[in-house]
Amino acid sequence: MSEGLKIGITCYPSLGGSGVVATELGKLLAERGHQIHFITHNIPFRLGSKFQKNIQYHEVDVNDYYVFRYPPYDLSLASKMAQVANLQQLDLLHVHYAVPHAVCAYLAKQMAHPDLKVVTTLHGTDITVLAQDESLKDMIRFAINQSDAVTAVSQDLINQTREMLDINRDIDLTYNFIDKRVYYPRDIAHLRSEFAYPHEKILMHISNFRPVKRVSDVVEVFAKVHEQIPSRLVFVGEGPDMPKVQCMIRNMGLEDRVHFLGKQDEIAQVISLADVLLLPSEKESFGLVALEAMACGVPTIGSEAGGIPELVTHGETGYLAPVGDTDKMAEHAVQLLSNDQLAAQMREACLHRARHVFCNDLITWEYEKIYYRVLNREVMNAKPSC
């Protein structure tokens, strides 16, 4: 183990994959002896409020003086980052999601001690959606170019960042990861009977129900599968497209087949109920939820969007089809759900791939390597074998 670092982490602390990745990474780094300082406007939901060794939380207070039409959150964040960096003598700031975090980190760096480094992790829509906005594009490009290191969660996102922003600098690939102590197949026999009869299959979708997730495709796929195999659909999460989806389900007469669980904390437990996860997204830089499912032995049927093909191996750990091709997705689901031997094989392949390719120890070590590189220090710890 090399000498511990002092790392400031900024992310969106509420629900969302980038916040999950940032918080879980911070917890793992703290376990490995680094001093972690979360600098956010609320306690990250995955952190909890219990004392944890090597972790501190610094709350960003926003000044809402009456002359401000919009309270200046970005400036308050940058100022807090600089204060914490100076007070705690941070080695680096690791910011997750380019907007506004990478820009705030740039500003903080100008105000903080001269050795402070900035590592930016791109997660998805910070590039695929926000970098299309002409009012933000130049600023995102600037913040990326000014960071000491930039990482992205899939090769597809690296390619898109280069193309959309005309960026040539190095970008490290750092896939999402799962903590194998939390994500493993749970014993849910007692729970399953609450949702389905023994002869029925469970299809599941978990998301924030934004248009980019194409939740109506989930309903279409389910309806087509249910025509051939008695099934149930379980939705987890909530968001803007929820009313549209509920209306669609009513119109299709599927109400008694569909369960809405809302937001859930015990995702490993919930996912273990499923026979298959549906992820037909329009854009998806990685698809953390498909990895969480994979780690619980549940294959994904999804779209070929973004980084999903880097995660889900077609025919081995799930099936992929072009965005919007619900016929193909349903066909694959029927193929999988009607063949117990195939389902068992895929389950094993899922467990193996999640544990060996996306394991927490490996990806944490990859982030550490990047930290030591930007600090010009030697990495002492060897690559972990997962």
Please give the residue ranges that form the binding site for ligand GMT (CB under 6 A): 12, 16-19, 21, 123-125, 153, 176, 212, 283-288, 306
> Do residues 117 and 85 make contact, with C-beta atoms less than 8 angstroms apart?
no
- Closer to ligand GMT by Cβ: residue 125 or 313: 125
Burial class of residue 40, CB neighbours in 10 A (0-12, 13-18, 19+) = buried
Supply the minimum distance, in Å, between the C-beta of residue 131 and ligand GMT: 11
Nearer to ligand GMT, 85 or 212 (CB): 212
For ligand GMT, which is the closer residue by CB, 8 or 124?
124
Selection from 110, 74, 109 nearest residue 92 by Cα: 109
Burial class (CB in 10 A: 0-12, 13-18, 19+), 262: exposed
Taking the complex as a whole, how short is the minimal distance between the CB of residue 153 and ligand GMT, in angstroms? 4
Is there a contact between 281 and 302 (Cβ–Cβ < 8 Å)?
Answer: yes
Nearer to ligand GMT, 17 or 318 (CB): 17
148 vs 156, beta carbon nearer ligand GMT? 156
Q: Give the nearest distance from C-beta 232 to ligand GMT in angstroms.
A: 26
Q: How far is the CB of 242 from ligand GMT (least distance, A)?
A: 17
| CB burial of residue 251 (10 Å; 0-12, 13-18, 19+) | exposed
SS3 category, 2:
coil
Q: How far apart are CB 283 and ligand GMT at their closest, in Å?
A: 5
- Which residue number is nearest to ligand GMT in terms of Cβ? 124
CA dihedral 69, 74, 80, 86 (to 10 degrees): -140
Q: Give the C-alpha distances (Å, rounded to integers) separating 124 from 18, 160, 285, 371.
A: 9, 10, 5, 21
What does each C-alpha distance from 354 to 81, 146, 179, 330 come to in angstroms? 34, 33, 10, 24
Nearer to ligand GMT, 91 or 156 (CB): 156
Nearest distance, CB of residue 40 and ligand GMT, angstroms: 13
Hey, is 63 helix, strand or coil? coil
Q: Cβ distance 143 to 120 under 8 Å?
A: yes
**Nearest distance in Å: CB 208, ligand GMT:** 7
Nearer to ligand GMT, 79 or 174 (CB): 174
